[in-house]
Structure formats: structure tokens, C-alpha cells
Amino acid sequence: MFIKDENYFKIKEFERNNITAFFTRKSFFERNTLKDLLPKNKIFISAYQKHTDVVKDISKTENRDYFEGVDGFITKRDDVVLVTKHADCLPIFFYDKKEKVIGMVHSGWKGSFQEIGLKTLNLMEKNYNSLRKNIIIGLGIGISCEKYEVGDEFYENFKSKFSYEIIKKSFKSYDGRKHFDNCEFNKLNFISNGILKKNIIVSKECTFEGDFFSFRRDKNKERNYAVIYFNKKSLVI
């Protein structure tokens, strides 16, 4: 469950495992900067995102804190903070409650089409022996289906790649125009690829309508931040 706070929306299920996971609100930046929210003794990991499907493992041997052309991170390190930037694109939070791995991904329609979420799971499996039954995923906050109008070519591209069941539930029609539900698409794609439905937390907030920066609405460079990090040794639930 996403819980509203003065500065951000945090994910309750992650908090129970001593994982801080949150998405900033627009009003927060009227008074503060992101670093005001972050622990002073941790390394701030971020990237110049390019709507890719590239996910970086911040391993013990990694000594950089900024990456170009990367749209997601995973790590077991408790000395780092993973950060991605969003303005309607979907943030995806990951936590393997057994192997103690966290992840953070920026998934706009390009990332979703390229299945950056599944590539994150694959990397967690490859590098840390994660099992999908043990992974909790938080989806949101992004633009809602009602505010995300798309064209016929967009629809046909997704239709040619993904199953009928996923497409049927991910696209809706409003006043004869097609709209895309990025959150629902990722939820269904995760479930069809081994993530337990009970382990997926979904936000009902919308960046276009809520207290968030929205590129479709504002047409500027302001961004919301999605953040995840270990508080201390986490517990299995």
C-alpha cells in the first residue's frame, strides 16, 4: 500500500522489511531538496536516463555513483541509495525478501515495451540467485490510463508482441480514442512471468492529476524522484 506523507508516498510493505521506498510529491520541492530526505552516510546512485532497458548492478566493486544511458539499478549494498527520476513514466520498486536485494527502475512506454522490469528480475536471478516467488514489487506512481492517450501505431506495436489477455486489459477506449495503462500492463506481465499477485503493490495515484510533476501536463523538465534503500538489516516476512 502506498501511504501519503507530508513529503512523499511511501510503500508500507517495504517499510515492514526496514526498506525505505518512496516517491516524492511536487509540494516537497517548494521547501526542500531531495538530499534533505536522504541519509548523510549513504552514497547517492543516479543516472542520466534515456528510456533504455539497461539495468545496472551496484555491486561491492562498483565505485561510480552516476551512469549515462541506464534506467534501473539493483543492489545488495546497504551503503547506497538508488534513485530514478520520473514525470509520468512508471517507477518500479523491487525487493527480494530472502536474498535481500533491492531494485529501482524507470519504465516509460519504451521501457515497458522492452520489458525492463523482466530484465531486472533476470539480473537479480543471475547475480543474486533470487527466486520470483520471494520478490515484492511496487508499481507507481505514474500517469493514469485515463490521461495517457496513444495512437494506433503504438497500440499495434504492443499487440504484435504481447498476449491477447495482457493487451485487452492494458488498453482502454475513451471517447473513441485509445489509452494505455502502463501500470496494469506491467502488473499483468509480471504475473504472467512468475511474480505472485499478492506480492505486487499498486498505486492508484496519477502524476497528471495529483501533487506531482507531469510532463504531459506541464511540458517542463521538473521531475519526481523514486527512491529505495536499506535502513538496516531487513527481516523476512
Instruction: Decide which of 40 and 14 is more confident.
Output: 14
The mean pLDDT of the chain is 95
pLDDT at 233: 54
Is residue 54 within 8 Å of residue 71, measured between CB atoms?
yes
Assigned domain for 235 exists: no
Assigned domain for 186 exists: no
Residues 6+ apart with CB under 8 A from 61: none
Assigned domain for 154 exists: no
Assigned domain for 167 exists: no
Q: Above 70 in pLDDT, residue 237?
A: no
Assigned domain for 155 exists: no
Q: Above 80 in pLDDT, residue 230?
A: yes
Task: Quote the percentage of the chain above a pLDDT of 70.
Answer: 97
* Per-residue pLDDT tens over the stretch 101-140: 999 999 999 999 999 999 999 999 999 999 999 999 999 9
The Cα 85–Cα 83 span in angstroms is: 7
pLDDT at 209: 96
pLDDT band, very low/low/confident/very high, at 37 (cuts 50, 70, 90): confident
pLDDT at 199: 98
Total domains in the chain come to: 1
| Segments in the chain forming alpha helices (H) | 12-15, 109-113, 116-128, 152-161, 164-170, 182-191, 215-218
Which run of H or E residues covers position 94? strand 90-96
Assigned domain for 100 exists: yes
pLDDT band, very low/low/confident/very high, at 235 (cuts 50, 70, 90): very low
Q: Is 53 helix (H, G, I), strand (E, B) or coil?
A: coil
* Domain that residue 221 falls in: 2-143+197-230
pLDDT band, very low/low/confident/very high, at 234 (cuts 50, 70, 90): very low
Matching residue, cell 549513504: 42
Least confidently predicted of 48-52, 74-78, 132-136, 231-235: 231-235
Cα–Cα nearest to 15, from 27, 3, 33, 28: 3
Residues in the chain: 237
pLDDT at 35: 86
Q: Above 60 in pLDDT, residue 236?
A: no
* Per-residue pLDDT tens over the stretch 132-184: 999 999 999 999 999 999 999 999 999 999 999 999 999 999 999 999 999 99
Axis-axis angle for helices 116-128, 182-191 (nearest 10)? 40
Strand order in the sheet with 224-230: 2-4, 8-11, 19-24, 224-230, 80-86, 43-48, 66-68
Residues 6+ apart with CB under 8 A from 186: 90, 92, 107, 112, 117, 139
Assigned domain for 188 exists: no
The Cα 67–Cα 48 span in angstroms is: 6
Assigned domain for 59 exists: yes
Q: What is the CATH number of the domain that holds 54?
A: 3.60.140.10
